[in-house]
Structure 1
Amino acid sequence: MLTISRIHQKTWPALLTVCLTLVIWLGSKAYYEDWFSDPFKYPAKAASLGATILMCWCVVLSTRLRPIEAFFGGLDKVYQVHKRIGRWAFFLIVLHPIFLSAHNFPDFLVFLQELGFLEPLGDRYLWGHNVGVATFLMMAGLMSLTLWLKIPYHLWKMTHEWFGGVLILAAAHVLIVNRDVTTYPLLRIWVYGFLALALASFVYTRFFYRFYGPRFDYTVSEIAKHGDVIQATLRPVQEKMEFKPSQFVYLVVRKEGITPEPHPYSIASGYNPRNRIKLGIKQSGDHTRSLDRLERGDPVLLYGPYGHFSDRFLSGVGDCVFIAGGIGITPFLGMWHVALHSEERLDPREAPEQLRRMHPELIRTWRSPVVSLFYICRTRGDASFDEDIRQEVAISRFHGFKAFEERGHHYECYITSEQGRITAAYVRERVKGGLQDKNIFLCGPSPMVASFVEQLSALGVRARQIIVEDFNLL
C-alpha cells in the first residue's frame, strides 16, 4: 500500500511544467483560433496533458541519477516526490474520459458506453480512443496494486516495471488520435520531448542501470543476528565505495533462496581504514527474511551510495540532535562514530579534493558538533544497536560516559513499552541548551517522524532546522 510522507518536498518543478504545458496548449488554441464547441473537452484535455507530463516525471525520477538526487536533496526525497506526483497523475487521468463523455448526460447509459472500447470502423480517432482505454485500464490496475493493496516488495517492483508499457501506450494514444498535441507545433515539440525523455529514462533504468550504474563488488566478511535485525559487514573485492556517514546503498544478492531484486539499506558505519561497510537490516518482509541464508564469503553487489542526510552534520554548522525510531537508527551510526572519534586528521592543503568533498570530517579544520542521540525502541530486545552505540562511547576520546556528558553529548535508549510515548518536549528537556539552535535529524516510521515534525514546529523549532530521512518505498 502506498504511503506518502506528510513532509513537504520539492514538487514545484513538476507542477511548473504542467502549468507551462497548459499555457502552451491554450496559447496554441488561441493563436490558431481552434476552440472546442464542447466545453467539457477543456477539462478533459487539461487532465490528459497534465497526467502525461506527470507520468513522464515519475519515470525520469526513477533513474537515480546524481544531478536529480542532488537537486531534490537526497534519493529519499526523490522517491517521495515520485510517489506524490504518480498519485496525482492517476487521479488526473481518471478525469480525462469522464469529461470526454460528459456531453452525453443525462443519458447515463450512453455516457458509460463511451467510456469503454468502441468499434473503430476504420476511424483513426476511435482506434486512438481504444488505445487510450487500454492505457487507462493498465494504469488503473497497476495503481490499484500500489495505492490500496499491500503486496511483497519483489512483486511490487515487478509491477512497477510494467509502467513502461503504460508510457508506451500513452505515447501511442497521442500519436493515433492526431489531435491537439500533433496539430500545434510548439505543443508537439514540448510533449514529444517529455515522452522521449521518459522513454529514454525507462530504457536506462530497466536495461542499462544494472551495468552502468554506480556498482561495486563486495563480499560478506561478517554476519550476525540480533533479534530480527541482521548486521552484515562487507568488504570490497577490488574497487571500494566512497561513502559519507548516513548514506544508503542498494544491495543485490544472487544466491539460491534469496530474491535478487535490489533493496535499499542504510550504511551503519562511518569511514574506516579497512574500507568495510556495515548494513543493519530489519527482517520485516519476504526479501529480508530470506537474508537468513546469507553467509560469510557470499558475493554481493552494491549500487550507490545515495543520500544527503548527513550534509548539514558534516558542514559543522550547529550542534545536532538525532532522533531515531527502530531500524531508523542505522543512518545515525556513522555520524555517531564521526562525532565521538578524533583520529589524526589531515592538513587541508595536503588532502586531495575528492577526500575533502567526501570526508570533511577527516580534515583538521572540521569542527565536530555536540550530538544528542535518542534511540527509540518498543522493547529492550528491539534495541539491536544499543551495545554498539555505547561501545563507541567507551572507545572514544572520552573513554566513557562521564567526560562524554561533560562535553555536552547525550545518549539515551528510550523504551516506549516502559516509558510511554516519547515527545519533542521530553527531548528538549534532555538536551543541554534546548532545541532552538540545534539541527534536528529524524529517521524512523513515517507516523513517528510526522508527529515529531508537528511537535517541534509547535515548540518554535524552524523548518530549516529539521532534517528528515524518509525512505519509505511502499
Structure 2
Amino acid sequence: MRIFGLILIALAGLVPLYWFVPLAGSRDAGALFSQYIGSLALILMGINQFLATRAPGLETVIGPLDRIYVLHKWLGVVAMVCLGLHDIIDAEMNGLRGGPLAGIAEDLGEISLYGLLVLVLASVITFIPYHLWKWSHRLIGIFFFLGAFHFFFIEKPFSSFDPLGLYICAFCLLGIVSYVWMSVVRPMAPRGYRYTVATVRHLGGLTEVILNPKGRGLRHKPGQFAFLSVGGSGLSEEHPFTLSGAPRDDGSLRFSIKDLGDYTRHLRRELSEGMEATVTGPYGRFSMPAGRDPQVWVGAGVGVTPFLAFAESLKARPTGPVKLYYCVRERDDIPYAIELERAAEEAGNLELVIVNSDEGVRLTPERIAADLGGDLSRAHVFFCGPSAMRKTLKSGLVLKGLRASRFHFEEFEMRTGIGLATLSAWLWDRSIYTIEKRREDRKQAAE
C-alpha cells in the first residue's frame, strides 16, 4: 500500500473539520460530532465506490489491486462504525428548521443505515457463498444513494450549497457515478481484450487454460494477474486469476486455476476449446527486481503459478541466484515439477526445491537462512500461499536479517473477513475459562 494514497484518503476525511470546528462555539458539541462522523462515513463510502471501479492509475496512487481490495474492506468497516456512532449519538440541534423533505430524508437515512449494515456484515462473513455475496454487494450503491439523499435534505447547521455541503456532496456524487458506471454503463459496454480458448488441460486439481488473442492482446509482466470472463454456460462473471505464463510472442495467455469454489468447479466442468473469453487487466506489482541480488521464491500449492511465469522469463532477464521452494502436501500434487525442472536447466541460475509436507518436511525460516549461507541482508523473498505460512516465514526471516521491504507478497484472497472467527474462538475460550474458574472457586469455597 502506498503511503501517499493513504494520506490522501485521510486528508479527504479530515478536511471537513476546517468548517465543522468553527461551528462548535455556537452548536451542541455532541450533535455536531455526530454530524461530522456521519459526513465522514459518506466521504469514505464515496471513495470506496470509486476504488471498486479499478480505474486506470489507482494502482499508481493507492497501491497494487490486491491491497486496494483490503483497503476497500477496511474503509467499509470504518464507514459503518461511523454510521453506527452517528445513529447512536443524537445529531438533532435546537433552532434548525428542515425543508419539506427533511422528514422523508430522516426515514431514508434509517433505511440506508440498516441496509448498509446488513450488506457490510455479509461482506466480512466469508462463509456466505461468493455468488450470493457478490449479488448482495451490488445493492450497496442503492443504500449509499439513500444516505446521500438523507444528507442533502436533512436538518443541519449549514446549507448543502455552502462549501462544506458542496465538499461532502462531491464525494456523494463520486460514489453514485462510480456505482452507475459499474452497475449500468460497464455491463453495456464491457472493456477488456478478446480471446479464444485454445487449450484446456486438467492437471490434478488445476485447470490449465491457454487463450489466443483476437486482435491486440493484453501485455503483462510475469507475476501479474487479470480478470477472466468466459462467454456462455454461466461463466461470464469476472474472476481474478494469476497469469501463469510469461509474455509470449504470439500474444497467448496461460491461466492455471485451482478448484476452490463454485465458479472454478463450474469452469472445470464447462470450459472447452473454442469458447470466447474476455480478459481485463493486467493488475498487481508482484514482479522481480532488477539486479543480481539473490532471490527466494516460495510457492505453496497453487501459489506456484506466478513463479511459473517468473521461471519462463529468466531466459530473457538475467538475475542473481534464485531458489524456488515448491511446497506441496502430496507427492502426486506437483503438476508443474517437470516444467520447472526444465526451466531450471535452461536458466542455469534457478534451483528447484520441492518441500513435501506429506513426508514430514516443512519449510522454515531457519532452512531458508541456512540455504542462503546465513546472509539475508541482500536477498529478496517472494511468497505466494496461505497467509498463516506467510506471516510465520516473514517474521522469522526478518528476525534473521531480511529487510521487511524485501519480503514481497500478494493477498492470496480477494475477499477476507475481519477476524470474526478468531474473535469468536477467543470469546469461546474465554467463556470456558471463566466457567471452569468459577467451578474451581466454588469447589474451594465448599472445602
Length-normalised TM-score, structure 2? 0.85
Equivalent in the alignment of 2:414: 473
CA distance in 2, matches of 1:382, 1:18: 49
SS at match of 2:128: coil
Label 1:181 to 1:17 Cα distance change in 2 as closer, same or farther (>3 A): farther
Q: Which amino acid aligns with 1:49?
A: S
Percent identity of the aligned residues?
25
Deviation at 1:456, TM superposition (A): 2.4
The correspondence of residues 288-367 of structure 1 with structure 2, limited to 5 A, is 288-291=264-267, 292-310=269-287, 313-316=288-291, 318-339=293-314, 341-342=315-316, 361=317, 367=318
Q: In terms of mean alpha carbon deviation, does 11-20 or 69-78 score higher?
A: 11-20
**SS in structure 2 of the partner of residue 220 of structure 1:** strand
Q: Residue 386 of structure 1 corresponds to which residue in structure 2?
A: 337
| 8 A Cα contact 1:213 1:303, kept in partner | no
Paired residues of 1:268 and 1:333 also in contact (CA < 8 A)? yes
Does residue 254 of structure 2 align to residue 278 of structure 1? yes
Query: Any conservation in 1 of the 2:369–2:397 contact (CA below 8 Å)?
Result: no
- Tell me how far apart the structure 2 counterparts of residues 224 and 183 of structure 1 sit (CA, whole Å): 59
The equivalent residue for 2:239 is 263
| RMSD of aligned alpha carbons | 2.6
Q: Distance in 1 between matches of 2:161 and 2:362?
A: 59
| Alpha-carbon distance in 2 for matches of 1:212, 1:315 | 38
User: SS of the counterpart of 1:280?
Assistant: strand
Q: 1:200 to 1:369 in 2, by over 3 A?
A: farther
- TM-aligned CA deviation for residue 334 of structure 1: 1.0
Matched, 1:452 2:393: yes
Match of 1:377 in 2: 328
2:54 matched to 1:64?
A: yes
Q: How does 1:53-452 map to 2 (within 5 A)?
A: 53-100=43-90, 124-180=101-157, 182=159, 185-210=162-187, 214-256=191-233, 258-291=234-267, 292-310=269-287, 313-316=288-291, 318-339=293-314, 341-342=315-316, 361=317, 367-394=318-345, 396-397=346-347, 404=348, 407=349, 409-431=350-372, 434-452=375-393
Distance 1:382 1:54 in 2: 44
SS at match of 2:319: coil
Find the residue that maps to 1:288 and give its secondary structure. helix
Shift of 1:466: 1.6
Amino acid at match of 1:431: L
Q: CA deviation at 1:192?
A: 1.1
Q: Do 1:174 and 1:181's aligned partners in 2 also have CA atoms closer than 8 Å?
A: no
- 1:279 CA drift (Å): 0.2
The size of the alignment, in residue pairs, is 410
- TM-score normalised by L of structure 1: 0.80
Instruction: Classify the secondary structure of the residue corresponding to 1:40.
Output: helix
Q: 429-438 or 460-469: which moved more? A: 429-438
Q: Deviations over 1:311-357 (max 9, x none)?
A: xx153363321112221211221111112x14xxxxxxxxxxxxxxx
Q: Is the 8 A contact 1:323 1:375 kept in 2?
A: yes
Provide, for residues 254-308 of structure 1, a one-character-per-residue CA deviation record: whole Å limited to 9, x for no partner. Answer: 222x342100000000022222211010111110000121111111111111111
1:383, CA displacement in angstroms?
A: 2.5
Q: Could you tell me whether the CA contact under 8 Å between 2:387 and 2:412 is conserved in 1?
A: no
Give structure 2 stretches of 5+ with no counterpart.
416-447
- State the secondary structure of the residue aligned to 2:16: helix
Per mean C-alpha deviation after superposition, the further-off stretch among 278-287 and 39-48 is: 39-48
User: Matched residue of 1:86: which SS?
Assistant: helix
- Output the CA distance in 2 between the equivalents of 1:471 and 1:180: 46
